[in-house]
Amino acid sequence: MGCIQSIRCKPKSFRESITVIEVNSNIDPNPTSIDESSSVVLRYRTPHFRASARVLVPPVAGKETWTVGWIQACNYMEFHNKYGTKGMSSWELPDLRDGKIQAISDSDGVNYPWYGNTTETCTIVGPTKKDTKFTVSMNDNFYPSVTWGVPVSDSNLPQLTSIRRDQSFTTWLVATNQSTAETIVLQTIKWRMRLCIEIDPSKPLGQRSKLLEPTAQEQPQILVKNEPIPANAMVKPNANDAQVLMWRPKIGEPIVVIPPKY
């Protein structure tokens, strides 16, 4: 049959020909581990979120450079450390907390907007004569330290009674044309990390903490329909540079303990 409409005979555009052969994402099944070896801080390590994709990029005709890789943004953060009746310390992202922005970049802070530049990205410099196939992968987890004592006091007396954390992220697999800044979203993943640790500060070091729900995290969702990337997820500051440690006492005004780096 001949062409009914000439448009149907046109070859697919380059952007439609970039193919995700396979995408995988999971959170390790192991529970969060707690480390009480220090008399100054409690440390915990969450399981890793992992994402990987096999991608095929067709021949690049001109002198174009394309980068394919992972971009991540934090959509929600609640990170509360309670100290009995004294109050709580809280890591906060003020603009996200106040609803001024919908998401904040979770870039490594160097290779904006990318999550990283080792396994996380692949760059194809045109012209190329044949298909390029590669894998890009990333992983993420939390490994913070929380002081046993109230962060605004000089005392190291253990008063920490609970840690609660709930964070949500969107992770995009993206292809970007370096010269035109054209950005194509190839895949969107949503994931969440939650934890609750109960602490009895009266017990001896090494026996104070207990991990409550969830012991296993809910698995990431690979979306059927891609979501666009909010502008804030592409630019400075990233979450690490924008976060603030607040002390919120039961009585009195909140105090900034650690101001944002940015």
Q: Is the pLDDT of residue 5 over 60?
A: no
Q: Is the pLDDT of residue 2 over 80?
A: no
CA-to-CA distance for 77 and 198, rounded, in angstroms? 19
**Farthest CA pair distance, the chain:** 84
Give CA separation, 107 vs 119, 179, 253, in Å: 14, 21, 32
Residues with Cβ < 8 Å from 184, sequence gap 6 or more?
15, 18, 174, 175, 176
Token reading at 101 = 């922005």
- pLDDT band per the 50, 70, 90 thresholds, residue 12: low
Instruction: Tell the burial category of 185 from Cβ atoms under 10 Å away from its Cβ (0-12, 13-18, 19+).
Output: middle
Residue 172's closest CA among 74, 104, 70, 55? Answer: 70
Contact 65, 228 (CB under 8 A): no
- DSSP for residue 234: G
- Give 53's strand partners: 23, 136
**pLDDT of 16:** 76
Residue 72's closest CA among 28, 103, 27? Answer: 103
- Average pLDDT for residues 40-52, to the nearest whole number? 97
Instruction: Tell the burial category of 215 from Cβ atoms under 10 Å away from its Cβ (0-12, 13-18, 19+).
Output: exposed
**pLDDT of 165:** 97
- pLDDT band per the 50, 70, 90 thresholds, residue 168: very high
Q: Is the pLDDT of residue 83 over 70?
A: yes
CA-to-CA distance for 131 and 59, rounded, in angstroms? 5
92-147 per-position pLDDT tens digit? 999 999 999 999 999 999 999 999 999 999 999 999 999 999 999 999 999 999 99
50 phi and psi angles, rounded to 5 deg = -135, 145
Residue 254 or residue 262, greater confidence: 254
- pLDDT band per the 50, 70, 90 thresholds, residue 163: very high
For residue 207, the tally of other CB atoms under 10 A from its CB is: 9
Percent of the chain with pLDDT over 90: 89
Token reading at 17 = 């020909």
Q: Is the pLDDT of residue 231 over 70?
A: yes
